[in-house]
Structure formats: C-alpha cells, structure tokens
Homo-oligomer: A and B are copies of this chain.
Amino acid sequence: MQTPRSSLEQWRVLQAVIDYGGFAKAAEQLHRSQSSVSYSVAKLQQQLGVELLVMKGRKACLTQKGETLLRRSRELLNEAISLENLANSMEQGWEPDISLVVDAAFPVHLLMEALKHFTPHSRGTRVQLNEVILSGAEQALEEGWADLVIGVHVPKGYLGDLIVEIEFVAVASPEHPLHQLGRGLRSDDLRQQVQVVIGDSGNVRPMEWGWLGEQRWTVSSIDKAVTTVCHGLGFSWLPRHQIETELVEGRLKPLPLSEGQCFKADLYQVFGHPERIGPATRKLAEILMEVSHQQ
C-alpha cells in the first residue's frame, strides 16, 4: 500500500482556481492569501510532475491533462466529503448502508428520481438496491436484511403505506388470435389462450399476478414477459409504464376486453425491522413517497 503524495487540500485549491476564475479570486473564497494559493498549485504540479495550468495571457488555463485530472479530482473530493459526512452522520445514528428492495413492477423512473433527490440528503449513506418479483419482497423482510421494501402487500406485523398504483393492461401482439376476432372479448376467450405470467423471485409461498388462463408460460422477469408477448406467444397483463414504447410502436396492443381490460395493483412501502431502520431510511422513504405522489 502506497501513500498519496498529493493532498485533498491541494486539489481543492486547484478546483477553486478554476471555479472562481483565478488565483486571487480563489484565495478570497478560500480565506487565504494569493501567494498561498500560488504555492499550493505550484507544489501540486511539482509533486505530480505534470503541468496542470498554463498562463494564457494573464489568465490561468487548464492544460488537457489538467482538465482530465481536475475532473477526476472532483470525484475524489466528493468521496472524501461523503466519508466525513458519513462519520458525522453515524454519530447521530444514521445508517452507513440502506438495503432497499423494490418489486420489479415499480416504475424505474420514479426510483431513479427518488435516488437522485436522496443523494444530497444522504450524508454518505449508500443505498444497496435489490429488484425482486412478488413474494421476494416479503421474503427480504422476513429474512431481516431489508431496511425498506416496495412490494405488493404489507405482511402482518409490518408498517406500510400505499406508495403507488400500477396499472396493468391486458396486451398481446397485434397478430395474436385474440386480436383477430374483431369483437369484445370475454374471460372465456382468454381461457383458451396462453397467458404469460411472471414467476416469483421469492420461494416462501408462490403467488401469481394473472389468474385467468389454463395454459401458462412462466417467465422470470417482466422484460422477458414483454419480449415473449411481443413475439405473439400469448397475452399478459403487464404494467403500462413498462410497455409504453411497445404500445406506441405497435408491437403490443391492448386487448378489447368487455370488462377488466386493465386492473390496478397497489404497491406498498414497508419498513424493515425497527431495530434496523434509522433516520436515513426514513428520509429515503419520505422522498420515495413524495416523488411517487407528485407524478
């Protein structure tokens, strides 16, 4: 293990010179003298053996190498700040890691949005994300390693709130026989066709979403279900948000059911065991809830 020659301070100064547009302005922002800034930058360059800045006229400009190194040094500084934030936060009972378990039916864009909003509040806490299908969520809770779970129901003994309604649409490929009948469909019609269902990622007690058909194809992910149905192999109830493009591009078409063409499934946000959850988990839960309700 080697020891770094440069220091975070030095990189910080370099960043300030660029961000505030000069040695003097950086000095002011950093509450140091201009000569101190000059010294730091010079020493950093000398230690690295790389020319980071070059004087163009009377303006200090980054070299090509300087630009690359500055970009990466920003990541380094962020990680350092994050480490210190974590130290400080843990003193106040913040968790260093959150295990977030999310049912695959939960819209990915909401998840991303929530995580983006969470980062500035994270104070160094990291989120470990697990995607599960159906009872996998409950299993994560019962095995005790999940801090926060988004799943299809709230198991007995846990605290949970409705977070989002997912609309499931019955769809098939436009070439599928069900689309050739030219009339409204009843459940009898469906019963004679292959239904594609998504298998359960847990193994406690298998559950299934679709319930009608006699003939079933079970696939292991929503993506695979979409592919399968697109290929005309059967019909399925799929989350609308997962098949937007396929609907627009005509690879999937909603079935003209006379009743129950789509149904809503509720997803709930559930907290893990009380002794595991702390303020970071609660903050993340709050943000997930906000993001999901405003859209």
Contacts and interface: CB of A to CB of B under 8 A. Distances in A.
A76 B80 contact: yes
A72 B96 CA distance: 10
Which secondary structure dominates chain A's binding surface? helix
Interface string A2-43: 111111110010011001000000000010000000000000
A214 interface: no
Interface string A57-97: 00000000100110011011101111110111011000010
Contacts of A68: 86, 90, 96
Contacts of A90: 50, 65, 68-69
B4 A50 contact: no
A48 interface: yes
A77 B231 contact: no
A30 B7 CA distance: 17
Contacts of A81: 2, 4
Q: Across chains A and B, which 5 residue pairs bring their CB atoms closest together, nearest first? A: A48-B87, A4-B80, A68-B96, A50-B87, A4-B8
10 contacts: A4-B9, A4-B81, A6-B80, A8-B8, A69-B83, A72-B82, A75-B79, A76-B79, A76-B83, A231-B231
Interface of A: 1-9, 12, 15-16, 19, 30, 48-50, 65, 68-69, 72-73, 75-77, 79-84, 86-88, 90-91, 96, 124, 217, 219, 224, 227-228, 231-233
Given A4-B84, A50-B88, 7 more contacts: A1-B16, A4-B81, A6-B80, A7-B9, A65-B87, A68-B90, A228-B228
